[in-house]
Amino acid sequence: MGKTHSPRFLASVNAARALIGECDAAQLRAMMEDGKQLIVVDVREAHEYAAGHLEGAVHIGKGVLERDIEKQDWDDDARIVLYCGGGFRSALAAKAVQDMGWANVLSLWGGWRGIQAEGLPLWQP
């Protein structure tokens, strides 16, 4: 995806990816257009989100996700897609959200770069 990651981080990500659902940006587009409720969560750092994000995305940084997600009024079966820069952090985040009881959680493989490449609607300063 563009960055070189450490072996232990990659092992953690791959373990999470084996236990969660994933989608790509084209599938995200289809979900955005299907008329069903969809919550998209940007788990990147605040400065990354401020520099640009998917229109309508909710920002809850990965570092505070487990603490702050319950502040949202989302049903346990709400369709939630999480994204980061490339899909690594969001895989770990999706696993955490799934472990907390949300049943319909996906991680966006390709993340922000995939969103941009797919031409999805962006908010940029």
Domains assigned to the chain: 21-123 (3.40.250.10)
- Under DSSP, the state recorded for 64 is G
CA dist 92 and 7 (Å) reads 15
pTM to 2 decimal places: 0.95
68 phi/psi in degrees, rounded to 5: -100, -15
Q: Where are the alpha helices (DSSP H) in the chain?
A: 7-17, 25-33, 46-51, 65-68, 88-99, 111-118
- In order, the DSSP letters of 19-86 are TSEEE-HHHHHHHHHSSS--EEEE-S-HHHHHH-EETTPEE--GGGHHHHGGGS---TT-EEEEE-SS
pLDDT in tens, the chain (125 residues): 467 899 999 999 999 999 999 999 999 999 999 999 999 999 999 999 999 999 999 999 999 999 999 999 999 999 999 999 999 999 999 999 999 999 999 999 999 999 999 999 999 99
Q: Which residue from 91, 87, 77, 84 is spatially nearest to 36, judged by alpha carbons? A: 77
